[in-house]
Amino acid sequence: MPSLTDAYDRRVGDGGGRRGRDEGRNAGGRNSTKRSGQNEGDRSKGDGERTGRRRAAATTTTQRRPYLGVGLLAVSSVLVAGGVVLATSVTVASAVGLAAIEATEIARMLAGIGLPLTFVGALALVPASHRLSALATIGFVLAVAGVAAFSWAYPGRWLGDPLDLTVPVVALYAVGSVLAFLALLAGVLAVDRGTESEDAPETERRERGGRTSL
C-alpha cells in the first residue's frame, strides 16, 4: 500500500511537470511572436525601401521634365519657322535645291509636325499628371500619322480624285492636334486650381486677422 509520502511526491512531480509544460508553451509562444514581429519588420523595411526608390525615380523624372519641355519647344519652333520660310521664300527654296511645289509640301509637313509638338513641349513644362502626358503623346502620334497620310495621299488621292482621302486624313490630323491641345489646357487649369486652393487658406487667415483687429 503506497504511503502518504509517495502520493505527495507524485502529486508534486505532476505539478512540476505541468508547470514545465506551461512554461515551455509560453516560451514557444514568445519565440513565435518574436519571429512574426521580425518578419513583419522585414516586410515593412522592404516596402519602405521600394517606396523610397519609386519616390526617388518620380522625383528624378519631375526634375527632368522642364529640360524636356524646353527641348521640345525648341525643336517645334525650328520646325514651324523652317516651314514658314520654305513656304514663303523662293530664294531659300532655290538655295536648298527645291522646286516651289516640293518646298511647299515640305513646309506643310514641317509645320504640321511642329504645331502638336509645341503643345507637348508646353505640357512638359507644367506639372501635369501622367494621364495628361499620355493623352498629349497619343495626340502627337495621331497628328504625325495624319501628316504622313497627307504626304502619301496628296495630290494624287485628294479632292476630285477617284480615291478621295481628304476627309479621313484631315480628321486624323485634327483629332491628334485637338487631343494634344486639350491635354495642355487641362494641365494649365489643374495648376491654376492648385494655386488657388493653396492661396485660399492664407487669404482666409488675413481676413480673420483684419476682422479681429477691428
Q: What is the pLDDT along the chain (214 residues), one digit of tens a residue?
A: 445 444 444 544 455 555 555 555 555 555 555 555 565 555 665 566 665 555 544 455 566 778 999 999 999 999 999 999 998 988 888 888 888 888 999 999 999 999 999 999 999 998 888 999 999 999 999 999 999 999 999 888 888 888 889 999 999 999 999 999 999 999 999 887 766 555 545 555 555 555 544 4
C-beta separation of 179 from 115 below 8 A: no
Residue the block writes with cell 526634375: 63
What are the grid coordinates assigned to 119, written together? 503643345
Please report, in angstroms and rounded to a whole number, the separation of the first and last CA atoms in the chain: 103
Give, as one character, the DSSP assignment of residue 22: H
* pLDDT of 11: 47
* pLDDT of 163: 87
Residue the block writes with cell 523624372: 61
The torsion of the CA quartet 109, 110, 113, 116, rounded to 10 degrees, works out to -120
The torsion of the CA quartet 136, 141, 146, 150, rounded to 10 degrees, works out to 130
Q: Which residues in 28-41 are b (16+ Cβ under 10 Å) and which e? A: eeeeeeeeeeeeee
Q: What is the rounded CA–CA span in Å between residue 214 and residue 207? A: 11
- The closest of 143, 150, 136, 151 to 176, measured between CA atoms, is 143
Residue 190, class by beta-carbon neighbours within 10 Å (0-12 exposed, 13-18 middle, 19+ buried)?
Answer: middle
Give rounded-to-5 percent helix, strand, coil for the chain. 90, 0, 10
pTM exceeds 0.85, yes or no: no
